[in-house]
Structure 1
Amino acid sequence: MLKALIFDMDGTLVHSDPLHLRAFVEVLGPKGVVIDDEVYRSRIIGRTNEVIFGGLLPDHSVEEHRDLADEKEAAFRRISSELSPLDGLLGLLAWAQKRDLKIALVTNAPILNAKHMLEVLGLSDAFSVIVTSQDVARGKPDPLPYLTALERLSITADEAIAFEDSPSGMKAAKGAGIYSFGILTGVPAEELKAVGADRTIEDFSARALWDVLEERVAA
């Protein structure tokens, strides 16, 4: 029986990837690093800052990576004040709350970004459990963030549904054994299916999602 919904943040709750790309360009352009759509999709989306900056600037120190990551996240927060929830999200959250389902957030973002984004979206009180990159020893694609969320929710994997927009996040959710929807805000459906997505949807108003939800709550 369904007891919880678990959401990724960027690209899932909100189509924020274009603004993240802008922030990376602002911070890394002066360093001579070219960040375009292909680099963002193949080397940034769904990854932790540690992995991202280590890969893009391998000749820099770990401390420099952290400083640049902080600068990038500050730039993102500065330009992201007018984002809106993905279509259908607010209706889904209201539906879940009426049925006493638990709602969790699992993100590779730092806690400052998570708090900022939830405030911008008007969702500061929507999640009973929040797992960020600072809560776990290993971020996505490792399943540890999702396993941590399941533990904090006091449920098993078969009692949850997860929502992810990146191959990295999908690997993490499926590695934890959770039925997962791929959100098509930035990555083609075939890429998400290749790493285990059970279904793919454009947004939270999709009929395919509601068919599964109605079936699971009736079980």
Structure 2
Amino acid sequence: MLKALIFDMDGTLVHSDPVHMEAFAQTLGPEGIVIDEHLYRTAIIGHTNESIFSTLLPHLPVKEHEAYAERKEAAFRRLALELKPLEGLLELFDWAEARGIRIALVTNAPLLNATHILEILGIADRFEVKITIDQVERGKPDPLPYLTAVERLGIRAEEAIAFEDSPSGMKAAKAAGLFSYGVLTGLSAAELTKVGADRTIETFRDRALWEVLESRIAA
């Protein structure tokens, strides 16, 4: 039986990638780094800040990476003021809550960003469990964030469905043993299927989602 829905945040609850791209561009522009679509998709989407800045600024020490990360996240919070939930998300939340299905968040974002985005979207109180990068020793693609969420929910992995938009997130969810949907806000169905997505959807209104939800409830 289905007992929980576990969501990534950026690119899954909300199409926030354009705002992240602009925040990275503002932060790294002075270093001569051009943040284009290819670089964003290959070196940024789904990665931790530690990984991103060590890759893009390998000549700088870790302390400088951390300082750049803080500036980038501050820029993101300044820019992310008019975000809206992905189509169908609120209806999905209502459907789940009416059936006693619990809702959790698993994100590589820091707590400040997660809190900011959830408040902007008006859904901060919809999550029973919130796992941010600050709470775990290893972020995605390691399965630890998902394993931590499952443990805090007190359920088995097979009793949850995960929603992810990035290769690292999908790898984490699948390694933790969750049936997982790829949300197509940034990557193609082929790209997410290649890294383990069981199904893919464009929005939370897609029939491909509701067919599985209904079957898991009926079971």
Give your verdict on TM over 0.5: yes
Displaced runs of 4 or more, over 3 A: none
- Alignment partner, residue 166 of structure 2: 166
Aligned to 2:15, the other structure's residue is in SS state: coil
| Amino acid corresponding to residue 169 of structure 2 in structure 1 | G
Q: Aligned letter for 2:59?
A: D
Structure-2 residue corresponding to 1:138: 138
Q: Match of 1:5? A: 5
Confirm or deny that 1:82 pairs with 2:82.
yes
CA displacement at 1:33 relative to structure 2: 1.2
SS at match of 1:33: coil
Which residue number in structure 1 is paired with residue 94 of structure 2?
A: 94
Identity of aligned residues (%): 67
Between the aligned partners of 2:124 and 2:160, the Cα distance in structure 1 is: 21
Distance in 2, Cα, partners of 1:124 & 1:165: 20
Counterpart AA for 2:103: I
1:51 Cα deviation after fit:
0.3
Aligned to 2:211: 211
1:130-164 CA distance string (max 9 Å, x none): 00001111100000000000000000010000000
SS at match of 1:181: strand
Q: What CA deviation, in whole Å up to 9, does each residue of 1:88-143 have, x standing for no partner?
A: 00000000000011100000000000000000000110000000001111100000
Q: Which amino acid aligns with 1:57?
A: L
Q: Deviations 1:64-91 (Å, cap 9, x if unpaired)?
A: 0011001000000001110000000000
Q: What is residue 147 of structure 1 aligned with on the other side?
A: 147
Cα deviations by residue, 1:3-30 (Å, 9 ceiling, x for unpaired): 0000000000000000000000000011
CA distance in structure 1 between the partners assigned to 2:33 and 2:79 by the alignment: 21
- Deviation of 1:214 after TM superposition, in Å, equals 0.3
Q: Aligned residue for 1:24?
A: 24
**Which residue identity is paired with 2:10?**
D
- Extract unaligned runs of 5+ from structure 2: none
Find the counterpart in structure 2 of residue 66 from structure 1.
66
- Give the TM-score normalised by the residue count of structure 2: 0.99
Task: Answer yes or no: is 1:56 the counterpart of 2:56.
Answer: yes
Instruction: Give 1:218 shift.
Output: 1.0
For 1:183, give the aligned amino acid.
Answer: V
Shift of 1:174: 0.2
CA distance in 1, matches of 2:135, 2:41: 25
CA positional deviation for 1:215? 0.4
Q: Which amino acid aligns with 1:59?
A: H
SS at the partner of 1:162? strand
Mapped to 1, the partners of 2:218 and 2:53 lie a distance apart of 45
Find the aligned partners of 2:160 and 2:187 in 1 and give their Cα distance.
23
Q: Report the 3-state secondary structure (helix = DSSP H, G, I; strand = E; otherwise coil) of the residue aligned with 1:91.
A: helix
Match of 1:189 in 2: 189
- Residues in 2 aligned to 1:60 and 1:19: alpha-carbon distance in whole angstroms: 25
1:109 paired with 2:109, answer yes
